[in-house]
Amino acid sequence: MTSARNVERASLTTAWHPSWYAPLDRAGKRAFKASFAGWATDAFDFMVFSFVLASLIDLWKLDRAEAGLLGTVTLIFSSIGGWVAGMLADRYGRVKVLQGTILWFSVCTLVIGFAQNFEQIFVLRALQGLGFGGEWAVGAVLIGEIVAPEHRGKAVGLVQSGWAIGWGAAAILYSVAYSVLPESLAWRSLFWVGILPALLVLYVRRNVPEPEVFARANEARKRGIRKSSVWAIFSPALLRRTVLAALLCTGIQGGFYAMSTWLPAFLRIERHLSVLDTGGYLFTIIVGAFCGYVAGAYLSDYWGRRRNFMLFSVLSLVSVCLYLTLPISNVQMLWLGLPLGFSSCGIFSGVGSYLTELYPSEFRANGQSFTYNFGRGIGALFPSLVGMLSHSTSLAMAIAIFAGAAYGVVLLMVLLLPETKGASL
């Protein structure tokens, strides 16, 4: 009777989960849940800043260049922290480093809520970036190493959809906080809530083991069978691949950060929307983003990595230009938010699996974190450049120029990189 009941329960579980998820063992499923939650909390803690940017400009009398610098400094330091975290993950393990990065950026987010001036929040945003940068790359490698090759794009891409969940949570709490609290306190409360992701560390520590492929590679390294250097990703055999992948990530992230960092301020400053209206418009974009993540995840395995990037870069280029430059009504802009979110976020779904497949296990986290975080570091300049350019043109035009250029870079790099669909690790 017990055996029959277990079989029935297993059948129901398989029926209700995707084909790539059901075959995972308990440790694999817990790793997926932990990485998904990690990216959701990552997104919440990072995207909260974009919601309060207009308040800081008003309350602290910041000009747009200074405000853009606060967005840039986090991304620059996240590129440093991300690469360091990748090197540590190759040496000490994916799970241990994942715990450290989550705890670090959660505590830094909390402290930002107590900042009293531009200088303090500048330093704290830099420290926040050190942890923020590492979490993405380590989580992507963790999932990429436990899922079968034919399902890797779907699994890593669906983990990426956790970003939309965290972004959506930030939009909801932003609307609530600004509705019930004075502006001077509302923006601080959003950062104070950012300490909650630290609780995720307890779950990861108890339930998520290291991937088997890492354990084998680490054992070989300890016995001297495989020697790896942090500079191996720049060896003649891998240099071209590393450079092109880094530029690909620069285009993907530069386009997104130019748009997402300034979009709430654009809606409030140039479109003159209220806080509640701004939250509603952003939530429409976030719904589109979640759909884009899911679609990109499946298309990455179905079409291949390169064709997936091509499709979403073209869609992103078109949608961001139409959203920001067409003389449209607020109602029309609301609905255009769906394709904008779909395309600009869906393009990220293929990145994690693609970078995982470009490098061998002994320096996979190093290569993946360097290329992704190099792109983040250069893309970090885009919010500041948008702020500076907006002094001589409209904010909408400044965003469109830099975002459009970024997606053009993506198209070029995809043509030069190899296809890795189905690669064995």
Residue 417 DSSP symbol:
S
93-129 per-position pLDDT tens digit: 777 888 888 888 888 889 999 999 889 999 998 888 8
Q: pTM of the prediction?
A: 0.74
Residue 271 DSSP symbol:
S
Phi-psi region of 272 (alpha: psi -120 to 50; beta: other; left: phi over 0): left
Q: What pLDDT does 310 receive?
A: 93
pLDDT greater at residue 235 or residue 28: 235
Q: DSSP letter string over 304-320? A: -HHHHHHHHHHHHHHHH
Q: 154 with 101: CB under 8 angstroms?
A: no
Tokens standing for residue 131: 């942890």
Q: Which CATH architecture has domain 25-202+232-416?
A: Up-down Bundle (1.20)
Q: Where would I find the H helices in 152-274?
A: 152-160, 162-180, 183-192, 200-207, 212-222, 239-269
190-204 per-position pLDDT tens digit: 899 888 777 777 677
Cα separation, 357 vs 235, whole angstroms: 17
Query: Among candidates 174, 167, 171, 166, which has minimal Cα distance to 200?
Result: 166
- Give the distance between the most distant pair of CA atoms in the chain: 76
Counting residues of the chain whose pLDDT is more than 90, the rounded percentage is 13
358-376: burial string, b at 16+ Cβ within 10 Å, e else = bbebbbbbbbbbbbbbbbb
172-223 per-position pLDDT tens digit: 888 889 889 998 899 999 899 888 777 777 677 677 776 776 666 666 666 6
Cα separation, 95 vs 261, whole angstroms: 30
Cα separation, 227 vs 90, whole angstroms: 12
324: helix, coil or strand? helix
Q: How confident is the model at residue 306 (pLDDT cuts 50, 70, 90)?
A: very high
Tokens standing for residue 293: 């993540």
Instruction: Kindly state the average pLDDT of the residues 297-313.
Output: 90
Burial class (CB in 10 A: 0-12, 13-18, 19+), 229: exposed
* Lowest mean pLDDT across 141-150, 164-173, 407-416: 141-150
Give yes or no for residue 2 having a pLDDT over 50: no
Q: What pLDDT does 215 receive?
A: 65
Instruction: Kindly state the average pLDDT of the residues 19-28.
Output: 73
